């Protein structure tokens, strides 16, 4: 809204000024035709012109420039524009015109010359305004307050000078030649020139151009300066005086200002040219460091960060190859995390070694390395075997808490491609990169942790689903079981297989490992046992088969301890094998004692087959009503309280012995209660499972 209002205002001002200029033109024609020149009208005419151009100046003043380059371009183009505009009329007007024009404005020689002077004044003044404001902006570039004051003072002085010129009346004397400047005018003009000179020394913007821009600005200036000087000297410019003394004085002043400024700026540019490329590179380095810190703050994706790092290195150091090696998690080996300029084949054939060569040197010294001639440096020579076109190289360590986290390399084809400044710069860059990488890693770690927790939840759910959802219904058996999952999911598992109405298969197992892998092996185990139990009647044979099957499908660090038992209520016998699992506690009513049953047998999937087959032993118990079999996992017997004391097998036996009259469920509750009380608030690290089989008293007896 505000902008629109402003635009309207500018339009109004522009149109207003054009109307005034038009009216002045009509007035001039009238004066020309009537061949009179009343002095009073002259003042009104001059005032009107001042107002008209003041309005125009206001509009030009508010033109916005995006940056300094835009400004310089406008500058150059407007100078060129006015040069052409002012020169063109001269091509069409003959020398006679020039002579006749010397009588202006007192006597207007022709309508044509009148048109010409109005036209030239108009464009020259617009040009002067834009030049003045651009000059002002250039001078103000990174300037101090004093400069601004000086500039305002200069403009005030200019106004004073213009007024003086009017009052001196030297332009209004008849017949051509102007009279000499008065003393006041000279003093004022001298002061103006001095101020101009002083202001022209403010050329700070030159520093902020890059090399290419500096060269362009220099040649642009060389091209323009003669033109600009010619303009001020040319008779054409004098036409403005005939049109309006105010405009003429103003335009001439600006033109002088311009000439001086261009000349000084050219000198400044010339002085800056030799150092331009160094300055450029510094700027590029600073901006790339800035760029990197932005990347740190915005990109948290590890892969993107490492890719960006090498990309920026090649960019900033203007080198062909760059790559980043980072320490690989647990081992101290360095692995290429990202590379720029290298092909996949290069990466495969890379003969870098973190113990010797350049990397070894950097790791040992924890310092950066600069190799000017790769072919002649003993530390780097071997790199030539890998890539023939490496001339010079830079390598800097990424240090985190004085530990080498990685190495950042830059390589060029030319020898002596890098200097010490590059080395320092790359080190600064590497320091930033270290932070970026650490941040990205932290984020990744927390994501990983979240993923692990999620995995644990899934594993826990899977484990719980794999456990039997109901107790088996077998006549004559009172059964109960529980699995108390640890804070961290363990690998406990139990299940029942109803082989016939009187035969029940019982499995209790502890799969080593945790989380998803344990849950996965558990599911495998369940499948194999469910299938095999229908085929193999003997627990021993079943376990032998199970061992061979599982051994081929489980990772070498994992194994399963388990017990497989078959209870036959008709024959009143329990047959079982123990594959590396905890013992079975058997309470016998006959001697009223708890027996520990430990038949020989090694864990499942520890051995391919021969040892397992040889050691596994099956035992048979002939049971009586009231007898109790207690199966459990080591998580239960090894559960600890806060004093790090173990619950213990004896403790368990004791409870069984005391609770021999209880039902399976009651005994389970008694054990679990006692266990929970024992553990208290201590953390549990392993699942605790308990499976109780009690032989019921038969009704006939």
Partner 1 sequence: MAEFGVERKDVNGVSVLYIKGYLDAHTAPEFEQAIRQLLNEGRYKIVVNFKDLSYISSAGLGVFMGFIEEIRNNKGDIKLSNMTDKVFRIFDLLGFPSLYEIFQDEQEAIEKF
Paired residues of 370 in beta bridges: 394
CA 682 to chain centre: 44
Dist CA 599 CA 574 (whole Å): 13
Q: State how beta strands 392-400 and 477-484 pair.
A: unpaired
User: Nearest distance from residue 595's CB to partner 1, in Å?
Assistant: 16
Closer to partner 1 at the Cβ: 311 or 638? 638
User: Nearest distance from residue 640's CB to partner 1, in Å?
Assistant: 9
Q: What is the 3-state secondary structure (H, E, C) of 475-526?
A: CCEEEEEEEECCCCCCCEEEEEEEEECCEEEEEEEEECCCHHHHHHHHHHHH
For residue 351, what are its two tokens?
Answer: 């003969």
559 belongs to the binding site for partner 1 (CB under 8 A):
yes
CA distances from 304 to 295, 311, 397, 659 (A): 9, 10, 20, 64
Answer whether 278's CB lies under 8 Å from 254's CB. Answer: no
Residue count of the chain:
701
User: Nearest distance from residue 611's CB to partner 1, in Å?
Assistant: 5
Binding pattern for the stretch 621-640 against partner 1, x by CB under 8 A and - elsewhere: -------------x------
Dist CA 223 CA 558 (whole Å): 83
77 belongs to the binding site for partner 1 (CB under 8 A):
no
Closer to partner 1 at the Cβ: 135 or 602? 602
Answer whether 464's CB lies under 8 Å from 485's CB. Answer: yes
Q: Which of 89, 417, 491, 539 binds partner 1 (CB under 8 A)?
A: 491
Dist CA 662 CA 669 (whole Å): 10
Dist CA 33 CA 29 (whole Å): 6
Q: Which of 234, 291, 502, 615 binds partner 1 (CB under 8 A)?
A: 615
Answer whether 321's CB lies under 8 Å from 410's CB. Answer: yes
539 belongs to the binding site for partner 1 (CB under 8 A):
no
Closer to partner 1 at the Cβ: 28 or 686? 686
User: Nearest distance from residue 387's CB to partner 1, in Å?
Assistant: 29
Dist CA 121 CA 117 (whole Å): 6
Closer to partner 1 at the Cβ: 419 or 607? 607
Terminal C-alpha separation, the chain: 103
For residue 326, what are its two tokens?
Answer: 């980072």
Dist CA 485 CA 572 (whole Å): 33
User: Nearest distance from residue 413's CB to partner 1, in Å?
Assistant: 37
Number of residues binding to partner 1, judged by CB under 8 A: 31
Answer whether 517's CB lies under 8 Å from 490's CB. Answer: no
Closer to partner 1 at the Cβ: 514 or 651? 514
Range 110-149, binding partner 1 (CB under 8 A): none
User: Nearest distance from residue 638's CB to partner 1, in Å?
Assistant: 8
Q: Which of 1, 26, 175, 557 binds partner 1 (CB under 8 A)?
A: 557
Q: State how beta strands 618-622 and 369-371 pair.
A: unpaired
Q: Which of 109, 431, 558, 663 binds partner 1 (CB under 8 A)?
A: 558
Binding pattern for the stretch 505-524 against partner 1, x by CB under 8 A and - elsewhere: -----x-xxx----------
User: Nearest distance from residue 351's CB to partner 1, in Å?
Assistant: 19
Binding pattern for the stretch 566-605 against partner 1, x by CB under 8 A and - elsewhere: -------------xxxxx--------------x-xxxx--
Range 312-331, binding partner 1 (CB under 8 A): 330
606 belongs to the binding site for partner 1 (CB under 8 A):
yes
Angle at CA of residue 413, ends 409 and 414, nearest 5°: 110
561 belongs to the binding site for partner 1 (CB under 8 A):
yes
Stretch near partner 1 under the rule CB under 8 A, chosen from 99-107, 301-309, 557-565, 653-661: 557-565
Closer to partner 1 at the Cβ: 148 or 614? 614
Closer to partner 1 at the Cβ: 409 or 521? 521
Binding pattern for the stretch 329-368 against partner 1, x by CB under 8 A and - elsewhere: -x--------------------------------------
User: Nearest distance from residue 634's CB to partner 1, in Å?
Assistant: 8
Paired residues of 695 in beta bridges: 477
Answer whether 268's CB lies under 8 Å from 203's CB. Answer: yes
Q: Which of 607, 613, 666, 674 binds partner 1 (CB under 8 A)?
A: 607
Task: Tell the burial category of 505 from Cβ atoms under 10 Å away from its Cβ (0-12, 13-18, 19+).
Answer: buried
User: Nearest distance from residue 644's CB to partner 1, in Å?
Assistant: 7
Closer to partner 1 at the Cβ: 177 or 557? 557
685 belongs to the binding site for partner 1 (CB under 8 A):
yes
CA distances from 103 to 114, 135, 237, 252, 417 (A): 12, 34, 15, 20, 69
Neighbours of 21 (CB within 10 A): 18
Dist CA 238 CA 42 (whole Å): 19
Q: Which of 11, 19, 347, 611 binds partner 1 (CB under 8 A)?
A: 611
Paired residues of 597 in beta bridges: 584
Closer to partner 1 at the Cβ: 282 or 608? 608
Q: Which of 4, 145, 470, 556 binds partner 1 (CB under 8 A)?
A: 556
Closer to partner 1 at the Cβ: 217 or 616? 616
Dist CA 594 CA 586 (whole Å): 5
Closer to partner 1 at the Cβ: 419 or 488? 488
Sites of contact with partner 1 (CB under 8 A): 330, 488, 491, 510, 512-514, 556-559, 561, 579-583, 598, 600-603, 606-607, 611, 614-615, 634, 644, 685-686
């Amino acid at each position: 809204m505000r902008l629109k209002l402003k635009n309207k205002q500018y339009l109004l001002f522009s149109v207003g000024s054009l109307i005034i200029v038009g009216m002045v033109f009509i007035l001039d024609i009238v004066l020309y035709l009537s061949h009179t020149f009343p002095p009073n009208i002259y003042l009104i005419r001059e005032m009107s012109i001042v107002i008209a151009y003041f309005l125009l100046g206001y509009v030009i003043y508010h033109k916005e420039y995006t940056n300094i380059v835009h400004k310089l371009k406008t500058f150059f183009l407007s100078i060129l524009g006015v040069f052409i505009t002012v020169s063109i009329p001269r091509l069409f007007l003959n020398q006679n015109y020039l002579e006749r024009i010397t009588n202006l404005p007192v006597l207007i020689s022709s309508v044509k010359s009148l048109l010409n002077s109005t036209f030239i004044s108009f464009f020259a003044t617009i040009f002067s305004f834009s030049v003045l404001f651009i000059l002002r902006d250039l001078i103000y570039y990174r300037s101090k307050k004093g400069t601004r004051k000086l500039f305002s003072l200069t403009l005030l002085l200019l106004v004073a000078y213009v007024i003086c010129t009017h009052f001196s009346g030297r332009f209004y004397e008849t017949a051509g030649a102007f009279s000499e400047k008065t003393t006041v005018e000279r003093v004022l003009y001298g002061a103006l020139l001095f101020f101009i000179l002083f202001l022209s020394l403010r050329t700070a913007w030159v520093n902020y151009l890059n090399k290419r821009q500096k060269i362009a600005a220099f040649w642009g200036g060389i091209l323009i300066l003669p033109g600009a000087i010619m303009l001020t000297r040319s008779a054409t410019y004098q036409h403005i005086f005939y049109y309006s003394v105010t405009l003429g004085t103003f335009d001439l002043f600006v033109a002088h200002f311009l000439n001086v400024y261009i000349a000084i700026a050219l000198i400044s540019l010339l002085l800056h040219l030799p150092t331009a490329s160094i300055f450029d590179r510094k700027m590029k380095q600073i901006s790339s460091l800035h760029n990197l810190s932005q990347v740190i703050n915005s990109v948290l994706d590890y892969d993107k960060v490492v890719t960006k790092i090498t990309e920026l290195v090649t960019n900033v150091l203007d080198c062909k190859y760059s790559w980043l090696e980072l320490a690989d998690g647990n081992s101290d080996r360095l692995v290429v995390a990202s590379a720029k300029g290298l092909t996949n084949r290069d990466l495969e054939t890379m003969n870098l070694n973190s113990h010797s060569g350049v990397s070894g040197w950097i790791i040992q010294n924890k310092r950066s390395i600069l190799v000017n001639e790769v072919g002649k440096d003993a530390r780097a020579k071997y790199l030539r075997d890998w890539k023939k076109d490496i001339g010079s190289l830079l390598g800097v360590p990424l240090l985190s808490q004085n530990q080498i986290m990685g190495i950042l390399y830059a390589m060029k084809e030319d020898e002596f491609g890098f200097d010490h400044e590059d080395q320092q710069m790359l080190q600064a860059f590497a320091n930033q990169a270290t932070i970026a990488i650490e941040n990205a890693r932290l984020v990744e770690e927390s994501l990983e942790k979240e993923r692990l927790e999620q995995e644990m939840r899934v594993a826990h759910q899977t484990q719980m689903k794999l456990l039997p959802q109901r107790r088996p219904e077998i006549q004559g058996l009172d059964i109960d079981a529980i699995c108390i999952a640890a804070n961290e999911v363990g690998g406990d598992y139990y299940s029942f297989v109803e082989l016939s109405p009187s035969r029940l298969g019982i499995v209790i197992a502890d799969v080593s490992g945790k989380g998803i892998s344990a849950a996965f092996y558990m599911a495998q185990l369940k499948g194999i046992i469910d299938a095999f139990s229908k085929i193999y009647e003997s627990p021993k044979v079943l376990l032998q088969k199970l061992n061979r099957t599982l051994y081929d499908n489980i990772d070498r660090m994992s194994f399963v301890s388990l017990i497989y038992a078959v209870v036959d209520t008709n024959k009143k016998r329990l047959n079982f094998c123990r594959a590396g699992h905890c013992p079975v506690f058997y309470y016998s009513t006959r001697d009223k004692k708890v027996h520990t049953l430990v038949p020989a047998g090694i864990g499942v999937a520890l051995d391919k087959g021969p040892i397992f087959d040889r050691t596994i032993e099956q035992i048979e118990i002939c049971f009586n009503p009231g007898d109790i079999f207690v199966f459990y996992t080591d998580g239960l017997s090894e559960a600890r309280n806060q004093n790090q004391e173990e619950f213990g097998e004896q403790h368990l036996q004791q409870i069984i012995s005391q609770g021999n009259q209880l039902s399976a469920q009651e005994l389970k509750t008694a054990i679990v209660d006692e266990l929970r009380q024992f553990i208290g608030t201590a953390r549990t690290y392993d699942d605790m499972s308990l499976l109780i089989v009690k032989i019921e008293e038969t009704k006939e007896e």
